[in-house]
Chain A
Amino acid sequence: MSSLQEMKIATDGQNRPKTPIYLDYQATTPTDPRVVEAMLPYFTTHFGNPHSRNHSYGWEAEQAVEKARAQVASIIGADEKEIIFTSGATESNNLALKGVAHFYKGRKNHLITVVTEHKCVLDSCRHLELEGFEITYLPVQQNGLIDLEKLKAAIRPDTCIVSVMAVNNEIGVIQPLAEIGKICRERKVYFHTDAAQAVGKIPLNVDEMNIDMMSISGHKIYGPKGIGALYVRRKPRVRLEALIHGGGQERGMRSGTLPTPLCVGLGEACAIAQREMGAEAERLKGLRDRFYKKIKEQLPEVYLNGDLDSRIPGNLNLSFAYVEGEGLMMGIKDLAVSSGSACTSASLEPSYVLRALGVEEELAHTSLRVGLGRFTTEQDVDYAVEHIVQAVQRLRAMSPLWEMAQEGIDIKSIQWAEH
């Protein structure tokens, strides 16, 4: 059982939830107890190496892995033969981009991606640039979505692959996958999407959306850490060069002993998400809207980053004007929220995603990413809103800038003395 469930039990019959409240579902999610249940026997009784072909321990493990593979395939409308297990979405993204680029090197040396992609996509692209590939980094509009005309214009005869994330990890916006897929298919370039934040949150279908490769993460969808998958289309076939070589597992595309319990966990997480996605999305949208409405009712000068409509239900990204970012985080210590992606959260740099939307530096510094998920309750939301409102009001009461703004002075028109 995860600590979150224990917390829920601890709060039964009480008026307020036990703190801190976890509101960082885009960083990681607790493993669903049903997933843990499914995994446990494969740590203990069925512990075999799934590649041992000479005894029943191996066969049992292999069977479990193949069942999981089918479960992963099912949630995205793929064939199980198109699923490669990896150690996580970071590996999937590295494998997809470097793997395809290396395979087609010399023939097709151009890749297209987006400035708001996850670090591991951007870093893979930078790495490929050093190897001589050319990368086009598409900008995003103010709402966080790409401009399809700009995508069309960027595609060249030597373009190999377009990589656009399905859902942004910071602002939760959903890119127009079907439209992107259609353009890519027409122009005969591969379409890869990092769907780490999308699987189980929104309906995805690789055929309907013309997706050729898709990265999937376990721990973002209530599955275990240390496991992910890469969907690789077989018809028309996408060819790629492996990153990790050895025993030739996963059709030679990814060597290494498959971690049976983790594969089972990812499979179960997908199966649960596939069954419950509709109801869960509706519930989370209710909570999200409640959160946003209550904040707006009580606080002026709050800005939502990213499109509200084309957005997963479990995400809000808000900037609070006239407060100082660090002070805000200190003021809401009872809430586990983040100011950006977990991978870059230790850095004091403002989020590159928000900067790409054109959010001013001051506002980017005071943004909060609120991630709601399967175990978030209405009580959690109300408590969080109350604390954020209090903290913002307190900080603003101490802020001379806020005072001036209240008096109608346009801060931007002030000529600051140089020190």
Chain B
Amino acid sequence: MSNAIYMDANATTPPSAAALAALEAAARVTGNPSSVHGFGRAARGVVDRARVQVAQLVGAKAENVIFVAGGTEANNLALASRGARPLIVSGIEHESVLKPAQAAGARIVRIRRNGQVDLDDLAAALREAGRPAFVSIMLANNETGVIQPVREAAKLVHAAGGLLHCDASQTPGRIALDMSALGADFLSMSAHKMGGVLGVGALVLKNDLAIAPMLIGGGQERYRRAGTENVPAIAAFGAAAEEARTLAHASRLAALRDRLEARLAELGIEALGKDAPRLPNTACVAVAGKSSETLVMALDLAGYAISAGSACSSGKVKPSPVALAMGYGEEIAKSSIRISLGWWNNEAEIDGLVARLADMTGRKVHTLPGMQPAA
């Protein structure tokens, strides 16, 4: 059994207590939400309630929330619904956007050194398209945590008559999330990155936009996504969404992350994208001269679970595509590690991690005022 200190929240988070309670309560409801008898209606009630909770998190109408199996399916479903519109995506999207986008011959928008999408290049891409496009830009990057200028991008996209999809998987509970404020027409969410459980996510529509369903047969989710609803996981998603609205952990996470980065800076280790607005919980740092693989392995042995990039591609020894897209060289891209914090982390754990990194890099740890002795 693992007792390592978990600092890989952007890969997945444990469910929150409220989500677990909702899951367990819903697991007692036997019934297929499509059944008309009492058991079925009870299950339907659980799903409907969660749908409202998820809608409220992002300021959408409940009927515009489509429950799917996760963030990947949500992203695929959004892109599949673009119709004949040409596709434009940023170069740092999650693979569930990038892979279908590349297959569709999408125009890839450049990324600036600070980790944000280059809006001038987006404007150019929209002009090149020559007709209303479908644009996909994530709200916050999974590796660097850099928050993208989605609102500004939406203005450009809408001025050109296009539609904007925003993968917001990394953001609930970390930053405020409002579809109207963002100007997103489609929004993807993943429950297991926000204190819900694995196996469920949502695609949320701003209006009653047409969807090109990928899974058909059965008429669930108003004919937009067939398959018996994952009732307990959906209930947990709803509970997690309600918690995420409060942003209760955001400022504490920011303080922990700032402490981490301040201490790493003393070791000469800098965070990528630190000049851009970022998620409060994410630090992506490059340790010059050390391969990220070596570092994550050594840190695992030392009892710290972090990652070298997104979970989907971790394990493969290749430079971070996000760092490369930001214009960093191979050396930095091959030595970047991601520390993503959650509500369960504390200062002592941060200090312990810094001490381990100092050992590994042969650098001296300075004592900050108020610092706990390193573990």
- Known A-B contacts A30-B30, A52-B11; A119 and B73 likewise in contact (beta carbons under 8 Å): no
A24: chain B residues at CB < 8 Å are 32, 35, 37, 39-40
Give the distance in Å from the alpha carbon of A224 to the alpha carbon of B198 in the complex: 12
Q: What separation, in Å, do the CA atoms of A47 and B273 have in the docked complex? A: 29
With A127-B216, A337-B37 as given contacts, are A257 and B72 in contact (CB-CB < 8 Å)? yes
Q: Which of chain A's residues has its CB closest to B28's CB?
A: A3
> Which residues does chain B contribute within 8 Å of A119, judged by CB atoms?
217-219, 226
Query: Would you list which residues of chain B between 13 and 61 have a CB under 8 Å from chain A?
Result: 13-15, 20, 23, 27-32, 34-40
Encoded as 1 (CB less than 8 Å from any B CB) or 0, chain A from 64 to 92 comes to 00000000000000000000000111110
Asked if A51 and B312 sit within 8 Å, CB to CB, the answer is: yes
Cβ of A256 under 8 Å from chain B: yes
B233: A residues at CB distance < 8 A? 225-226, 259, 262
Q: Does A245 lie within 8 Å of B99, measured CB to CB?
A: yes
> Is there an interface contact between B217 and A244, defined as CB atoms closer than 8 Å?
no
- Contact assessment for B314 and A54 in the assembled complex, using a CB-CB cutoff below 8 Å: yes
Is B226 a contact of A226 with CB atoms below 8 Å? no
Q: Does B200 contact A (CB under 8 A)?
A: yes
Q: How far is the CB of B129 from chain A (nearest CB, A)?
A: 22
Contact of A225 with B232 in the complex, beta carbons under 8 Å: yes
Q: Knowing A43-B20, A246-B72 touch, does A20 contact B39 (C-beta < 8 A)?
A: yes
Closest A-chain residue to B103, C-beta based?
A: A245
**When chains A and B are docked, how far (Å) is the Cα of A345 from the Cα of B40?**
11
B215 touches A94 (CB 8 A): yes
Is B199 a contact of A249 with CB atoms below 8 Å? no
Q: Which one, B1-9, B133-141, B263-271, B363-371, is touching chain A?
A: B1-9
Residues of B within 8 A of A1 (CB): 28
B174 interface hit (Cβ, 8 Å):
no
User: At the interface, yes or no: A209 with Cβ under 8 Å from chain B?
Assistant: no
Contact between A124 and B217 (Cβ–Cβ < 8 Å)?
A: yes
Which residues of chain B are near A53, meaning CB under 8 Å?
311, 314-315
Bound CA span A248–B72, Å: 11
Distance, CA A297 to CA B221, complexed state (A): 43
- Cα(A40)–Cα(B1), bound, Å: 14
A380 to chain B, nearest CB (A): 14
CB-CB under 8 A from B39, the residues of chain A are 3, 20, 22, 24, 336
Q: Which of B292-308 contact A (CB under 8 A)?
A: 293, 296-297, 300, 305-308
Please state if A55 and B8 are interface contacts (CB–CB under 8 Å): yes
Given the contacts A53-B314, A55-B300, A123-B226, A245 and B2 also touching, CB distance less than 8 Å: no
Contact with A along B321-355 (1 / 0, CB 8 A): 00000000000000000000000000000000000
B1 in contact with A54 (CB, 8 Å): no
B81 in contact (CB, < 8 A): no
- Chain A residues in 8 Å Cβ range of B105: none
- Which residue from B2, B75, B216, B231 sits with its C-beta under 8 Å from A246? B75
| Cα distance, A192 to B117, chains bound together (Å) | 45
> Whole-angstrom distance from the CB of A112 to the nearest CB of chain B?
17
Q: What CA separation (Å) do A93 and B226 show in the bound complex?
A: 11
Measured in the bound complex, the distance between the Cα atoms of B13 and A3 in whole Å is 29
A43, A120, A246, A255: which contacts B217 (Cβ < 8 A)? A120
Closest to B39 in A: A336
Question: Closest 4 interchain pairs by CB?
Answer: A120-B217, A226-B230, A247-B312, A53-B315
Q: List 18 A-B contacts (CB under 8 A).
A: A43-B23, A44-B15, A48-B11, A48-B305, A52-B12, A54-B307, A56-B2, A88-B227, A89-B227, A91-B215, A120-B227, A225-B228, A255-B76, A255-B99, A256-B70, A256-B71, A342-B40, A343-B228
Beyond A45-B1, A49-B12, A54-B307, list 13 extra A-B contacts (CB 8 Å): A24-B39, A47-B15, A48-B12, A49-B8, A52-B307, A53-B315, A56-B300, A120-B216, A244-B73, A247-B95, A248-B99, A262-B198, A345-B40
